[in-house]
Structures are given as structure tokens and as C-alpha cells.
Amino acid sequence: MTKPEVVIVKPKPKVEVVMCIYKTSCNLLKPIVQRIFRQNIAISTNCINMAAVSDTNLPGTNNLQPQPFKYFLVLDFEATCENGRTIVPQEIIEFPVLKINAVTLQTESVFHQYVQPKVNQQLTPFCTELTGIIQDMVDGQPYIEEVLEKFHTWLEENDLLNPENKFIFVTCGDWDLKTMLTSQLRYFGINRAPYFNKWINIKKPCSHHTNEYPKGMMAMLKKLDLTHEGRHHSGIDDCKNIGRILTELLRRGVVFKPTGKL
């Protein structure tokens, strides 16, 4: 008498079982199986889409909160200056802006332009020592009117004038947009674009988070355990460091709101 043959049947994955049933000719079960199969596929697709945009899948972004803005434009002007006295008119000589995505925290685009001063065209030794900007870097560069036009074009190219892509400027203090730009536009009779009328002075949300009002950028970096990179008072390097302060506060769950307006 021969031994009965033992057949081990391994259960197949759920999807294969569903597919197996789906392929049967049972007219009674077929509509139900089809509906279940479609629902499973829809759920799987939705999970994939959510994972693609989820903040928690990005390194160090677990505490990110929804923000009222899609983009932050980090801005830090450098201007003509002299040791111990005020130059009249003070004029912007470096115009840098970083476009930072509020969800990914990535810098998606950079606007950077040196500006030739109109009135006090020769930079002082103090100005060069402070900012690192030498005379050759501003000679032959566009005046402020053309730079503002170039910046507006950059906003258009980055689709930032689309109302759906809400943005706000981020500065270290109120000087850049409240004092410097305002005084120069007034002096030369240049119209001010409305998008310059609101900004975030990053010192204020930083102070709310740390319970200590910072004196400046270097103090914020230290308080947040961030190292300074580049040259202090280089406009573009300051923008990068302010951007690092911004993204660190975003990672810590800070929600940003306008702090200054005209």
C-alpha cells in the first residue's frame, strides 16, 4: 500500500487571491470583487501620493507646521556707508534674494545683483572692508531702477506673482524694507511695488521661540546652535545664513506671520 501523497498548499498574497477570484467566471461575485479591487488600488495610490508630499518623509522636518505662505523670500541689502557718519543718500549696492519653499525647505531660486550707486559712486574703504564689495563689482552695473525691473521679471519667471503662490519677504531687522528701500525710492522718485510692503523680521519669531530677543544674525545662529558660513555683511552670504535660521525655526514648528508693513 503506497503512502498518500502530502501536498502543502501555501496561501497566496491577498492581491493574488483577489486577482484569482476576479478572473473566475462567477457572475454573482464578479461585480463585488471588481469593486473591492478598485477600492484597494485607489487606497494604495492615495497612500503613494500622500507619501510623496508628506513633510515627515523629508529629513529633519517632523515638526513642520502648515504655513500661510508657500514661499519665503530671504532678502538682505548692502548699501553705501562710511564709518562714523551717514551718507546721503544711502544707496543699495547689493540686492540678493533667496526663494525658499515652505514645505521642502529647499532654496529653489536665487536673485543676486550688484547695483551701481548714482550719487556717491565711489565706495569708501570702510564700505569695502565691511561688505567685501570692491569698486569693480559695482562699476558698470545697472542702477536701482533697472535692478528693480530685473527683480520683477525674476518674480514673474518664478511664478511668484501668481496669487496661488503666496510669498513674503524675510529680513534680519526692519531696516531693509522699512528704511533703506523706502528712503532710496523716495529720493529718486521711484514707485514702490506693493509686494515690498509686508515682511517678516526674523528676529521676532526667533525671540518668541527662544525667549530672548537677539541683537543680530550672529546671535540667532549661536542661539540655534548653527555655525556661521561665509562672510558677515556679504549680502548673499547673509541671506544664506538667514535662510538657515528660517529653516531651522520651521523645523522646530514655528509658524511665521508678517511682523512689519507699510
- What are the tens digits of pLDDT across the range 138-179? 999 999 999 999 999 999 999 999 999 999 999 999 999 999
At residue 62, the pLDDT reads 73
In the predicted model, residues of the chain with pLDDT beneath 50 are 1-57
Contact yes or no for 195/99 (Cβ under 8 A): no
Active-site option among 78, 91, 94, 248: 78
Active-site option among 5, 16, 229, 233: 233
The candidate with the shortest Cα–Cα distance to 190, out of 67, 91, 96, is 91
Q: Please say if 145 is a catalytic residue.
A: no
Q: Please say if 78 is a catalytic residue.
A: yes
